[in-house]
Structure formats: C-alpha cells, structure tokens
Structure 1
Amino acid sequence: MGKRMGVVLGLAAVLLLSACGQRDWGVDQHGRPLAEQLQGKWLVINYWAEWCGPCRREIPQLNALDEQLRADGVRVVGVNFDGLQGAELARASEAMGIRFSVLATDPASRLKLPTSAALPVTYIVDAEGRVRERLVGEQTAAGLDSRLKALRGDS
C-alpha cells in the first residue's frame, strides 16, 4: 500500500509540474505573474518595437481590443521585438502608451512561432495554445475582432 501511494503521489507531482510548465507565461512589464490571467484564453500576441512606426500607430487599436474583449476570454499581450527586460521594458511600454500586458519572456519557442523579418506581426492563439493565424503589418481593432469571431465561430 505504501509503495502504491508513493507511485500515485509521484505521478501526481509529475502531472502538476508539467501543467505548471504549460501555464507559465512568466511576468509582465511590471513584474506581475501572468499565468492566471492568460491560461485558457484566446490570445492576440503582438510583436512591437519603439522604432517601428506602424507598431506605434496600432497600439491604441490593441489597447481598445484588449479592453473590449477581456470579458469574452480574449487577451491582448505584447512582446518587445528587441528583447527589452526589466525597467527598460516597463519604460518602453509606457512610452508607447501600452495598457495591455507585455510579456517579459518571448513565447516564440514555446508556441513554435516563426521568426518574422517584418513588424508589426500579430499571432492569434486559441485557448488550447494553438497558433491559428499570423498577421503581418498594422492591424485594427475591428479587423482583429472580425478574425477572432471567424476563428472562434462566433456570429
């Protein structure tokens, strides 16, 4: 009985650790953990840079989309193309007027996102973590909302 319980507890620990790894989105530009906020949500992942004019123009659209769709299980998250971290990331995000969460850790390898030579680039990821669409160039809230509705099967 003790040996069986040890095996069960060991298996449970492995499952818990692997589940934690799947949910670990790291922290945002302010150092706040994101796992609870992003797990099981549709994500609009936007890569941006301070030197990118189209990125600057689309930030207000992405802010609006994040606010509009949060209640529907959709989150907009940003990734700094230049790999800024810590205080630099927070400063750049604020300078760009970003109100949505910016990931401190690039999820590209985890989600198997292709490297993009152009910015901005936006990925739509479903609630199971599958990349459903890659959009290159400046996006609008209305256009992204339309794509999300089509992908989610919303009317």
Structure 2
Amino acid sequence: MARRLAAAVALIGSVLLSGCGVDLGTDQNGQKVASDRVDKHWLVVNYWAEWCGPCRTEIPELNKLSDQMNGQKVSVFGVNFDNLQGEDLKTASNALGIKFTVLAQDPAEQYDLPKSEALPVTYIIDDKGKVREQLMGEQTAAGVAQKLAELKGKG
C-alpha cells in the first residue's frame, strides 16, 4: 500500500511539474542549458550549418540580436542542422563566430517545431512555449527584433 501511495504521489508531482523547469540539455561547450534560461522567456531558435552560405552571413546578426536582447527575457539559441555533437559542434560554432548558445540537443520535439528542409530557418517561440513564427531565409537583428516586438504586442 505504501509503495502505491508513493508511486501515485510521484506521478502527480511529475504531472504538475511537466512543462516547467525543463532543461535544454547541453551547449556547444558542454555546459548545461538550465530551465531558467527558457522558462517564461521568448526564444529565438535558429537552425544553421557550416555549408550554408546565408547561415554564415546571418550569424553576426544573431550575435548582435543576442546582445541586444540581454536582460529582456529573450534567449537566442542555435541548433546545428547536421546534428554535430561534442568537439565537432564546438569547433563548427567557433569557426562561424557564434557567440550565442548552440544547443547540442535539438528542441524540435519539445516545442513541436515544424520540420524544415531549407536553411537558414528561425523560429520564434513565446514565453508560454508556443511557436509564434517561422522565418525562412537570412534574418537581420533589426528584423527579428521588430518581429518579436510585433508578436509580444499581440499577446
């Protein structure tokens, strides 16, 4: 009886906690990406690859966006399209001059991101975890910042 009660309490606890406090795995440096970086934050998630010319052009813009959004509950994340891991991910990120956090684990399933076969692609996810926009092609810091402002204004 006590084991059943403990199991029921554990199950109820996990249901109540689901959706908040979920870490996003590790970054390009092997550091944990803690839930406090994503909970109640707007997310800009950009998919990139080394072989993608427009990706290389937009990375400095995303670096600028990440700096501009610092302290505003907006987090910029990159995801390598080719699923590079470990030292390969770190090397590729450094080679492209990426200063924002690159996730080693693809968050597509967690946020129900639509699959894209084209690069670059950037998703804007609201502070409740809902995908609000899919931006195809090369982006600018100003353009993404404007889109964020518009989406935040719509609630």
What range describes the TM-score normalised by the shorter chain of this pair? 0.7 to 0.9
Residue 11 (structure 1) shift: 5.1
Q: What is aligned with 2:30? A: 31
Segments of structure 1 that go 5 or more residues without pairing to the other structure are none
* One-letter identity of the residue aligned with 1:117: E
Give structure 1 regions of 4+ aligned residues with deviation exceeding 6 angstroms.
none
SS at match of 1:26: coil
Count of matched residue positions in the alignment of Structure 1 and Structure 2: 151
Q: What is aligned with 1:103? A: 103
SS at match of 1:151: helix
Q: What is aligned with 1:54? A: 54
Change (3 A) 1:71 1:7: same
Q: Distance in 1 between matches of 2:33 and 2:84?
A: 18
Q: Distance in 1 between matches of 2:7 and 2:53?
A: 56
Q: What is aligned with 1:120? A: 120
SS at match of 2:89: helix
Residue 49 (structure 1) shift: 0.3
Q: Distance in 2 between matches of 1:150 and 1:37?
A: 22
Q: Distance in 1 between matches of 2:32 and 2:16?
A: 18
Q: Distance in 2 between matches of 1:66 and 1:109?
A: 23
* One-letter identity of the residue aligned with 2:33: L
Q: Percent identity?
A: 54
What is the Cα-based RMSD across aligned positions, in Å? 2.2
* One-letter identity of the residue aligned with 1:24: D
Q: What is aligned with 1:90? A: 90
